[in-house]
Amino acid sequence: MPPVGPRRAAGDRGRGRELTGVPPVGPRRRGRSGRGRGGRYRGAVPDALRSRLPAALAAVATVAAGLTLRALADGPLGAYGGDALYTVLIHTIIVFALPRTAPLRAAAGALAFSWAVEFAQLTPVPAALSEASTVARLVLGSTFGAADLAAYAAGAALAAAVHALLRRRPAPAPLTSG
């Protein structure tokens, strides 16, 4: 009795290469370039790295800007600029952890976290931790300031705007005739 079903190429173990000329059933997985997984150079830049690298670089740049601002600026710029950058840093951490997060959602999460830390300063816990550790003082602060809430909101708005601008894809080039 002859075998039932399409004939397969010699050495094929069910990978869908029938000799009938019919392509295998099911979608092929392709990357953005349309050349299969990994684009032109297989494994050159993994998708996880490609989507998280900009957020990681933005976080490093934000920390550098915050430390520079803290060291060089006085007055309101030094006080509230650092608070705004704190929220920008939280935004970049959220985008690093969840790269497909929408800009407004990431900004809302960063603002909620920043405000939670600020309202926690109404308790004695952050002040006690700040006395024991410089890192705790930089992350948690020590005293509540209502004006800091506005600086956090400005930082969230700035982060959302930059994130939205960076996520925009360029419009396709217009077709020209001639």
Contacts of residue 155, Cβ cutoff 8 Å, sequence gap at least 6: 83, 84, 85, 86, 87, 88, 91, 110, 114
H-only helix segments in 1-133: 47-72, 75-97, 103-120, 125-132
131: left (phi over 0), alpha (psi -120 to 50) or beta: alpha
The pLDDT tens digits along the chain (178 residues) read: 555 655 555 555 555 555 555 555 655 555 555 545 545 555 566 666 777 888 999 999 999 998 898 888 888 888 899 889 999 999 999 999 998 899 999 999 999 999 999 999 999 888 888 888 888 887 888 789 899 999 999 999 999 999 999 887 666 666 676 5
Structure tokens that stand for 63 in this block: 């920390």
Note if the pTM is more than 0.75: no
95 neighbors 106 (Cβ within 8 angstroms) = yes
Q: Where are the domains of the chain?
A: 47-167
**Cα dihedral 67, 96, 164, 50 sign:** positive
Q: Which tokens sit at 66?
A: 């915050």
Q: How far is CA 98 from the centre of its chain?
A: 6
Q: Which residues have a Cβ under 8 Å from the Cβ of 120 and sit 6 or more positions away?
A: 126, 140
Give me the residue label for tokens 């494994």.
Answer: 43
d(CA 16, CA 25): 8
